[in-house]
């Protein structure tokens, strides 16, 4: 709420009041903001309960455990950033989807084609953007990552400079604030290659040059004769339990011109080069 000085110039104060009333009555997100606040309040209550409710490790033997709160702790921080394309036609449509309890999906940030950034979930909270997926041994990427949705129809849309420039600025802040490793800027198709193709034909190289994710060098060395491509994919983080899906995920990210589930000699050169960076 802004302080309004009624004792100042009368005409101006009435005008200010009228503007304030109009701003309040036209907040089309008032209802969803109210739900957001209530949910954060509920989570705050869970966090501040001491002893925490429902966290007894041995329900059969409750007398064998007690609660003594420590004074040294912090709040858990995100350690990955996962990029998506919205597969929608506008920012407004995406916001509408992220307000639909039926869709049950969200992202921490949405970036429009013209570079406008909309923050929708506090970085410290878990947004529903990653779904079922795996990277390395991490099987709950929603808990460990920030999700960024880029407004893009996922097929014919280009990636405008304004959108990428805003993304880079946001990534700079996130990387610095949460000390996120360079390797941990990845795509939805990396962690869920069986289900997700996004972000499609994305300019990953541009991001890698700024320090977000890795890209291969201009000059590629031949891998050693015993180079194990599938194992390299696994060590990078890909879930190779479905090897074809992992290869497609890798090729969507690093090859793009061909996403067949087969590692060609050129793909192996690229894979060996990026694998040594991860």
Site for Zn ion, rule CB under 5 A: 84, 188, 198
Rounded-to-integer distance, Cα 202 and Cα 206, Å? 9
| Closer of 166 and 189 to Zn ion (Cβ) | 189
CB of 198 to Zn ion, least distance (A): 4
- Cβ pair 141, 130 in contact under 8 A: yes
| Closer of 147 and 223 to Zn ion (Cβ) | 147
CB of 129 to Zn ion, least distance (A): 6
| Closer of 154 and 230 to Zn ion (Cβ) | 154
Q: How many residues does the chain have?
A: 278
CB of 68 to Zn ion, least distance (A): 42
Report angle CA 227, 228, 233 to the nearest 5 degrees: 120
| Closer of 193 and 229 to Zn ion (Cβ) | 193
CB of 229 to Zn ion, least distance (A): 26
CB of 196 to Zn ion, least distance (A): 5
| Closer of 175 and 188 to Zn ion (Cβ) | 188
Both tokens of 8, joined, read: 């100042």
């Amino acid at each position: 709420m802004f302080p309004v000085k009624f004792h100042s110039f009368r005409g101006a104060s009435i005008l200010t009041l009228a503007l304030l009333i109009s701003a309040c009555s036209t907040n089309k997100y008032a209802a969803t903001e109210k739900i957001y606040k209530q949910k954060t309040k509920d989570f705050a209550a869970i966090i501040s309960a001491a002893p925490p409710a429902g966290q007894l490790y041995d329900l059969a033997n409750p007398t064998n455990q007690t609660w003594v709160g420590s004074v040294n702790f912090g709040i858990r921080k995100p350690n990955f950033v996962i990029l998506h394309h919205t597969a929608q036609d506008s920012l407004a449509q995406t916001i509408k989807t992220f307000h639909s309890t039926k869709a049950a999906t969200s992202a921490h940030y949405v970036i429009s084609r013209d570079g406008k950034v909309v923050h929708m979930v506090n970085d410290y909270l878990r947004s529903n953007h990653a779904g079922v997926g795996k990277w390395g041994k991490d099987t709950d990427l929603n808990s460990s990552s920030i999700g960024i949705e880029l407004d893009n129809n996922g097929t014919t849309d280009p990636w405008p400079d304004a959108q990428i420039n805003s993304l880079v600025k946001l990534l700079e802040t996130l990387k610095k604030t949460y000390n996120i490793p360079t390797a941990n800027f990845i795509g939805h198709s990396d962690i869920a290659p069986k289900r997700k193709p996004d972000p499609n034909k994305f300019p990953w190289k541009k991001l890698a040059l700024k320090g977000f994710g890795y890209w291969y060098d201009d000059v590629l060395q031949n891998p050693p004769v015993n180079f194990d491509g599938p194992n390299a994919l696994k060590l990078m983080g890909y879930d190779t339990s479905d090897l074809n899906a992992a290869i497609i995920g890798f090729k969507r990210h690093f090859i793009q011109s061909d996403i067949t589930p087969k590692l060609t000699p050129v793909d192996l050169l690229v894979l060996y080069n990026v694998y040594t960076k991860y």
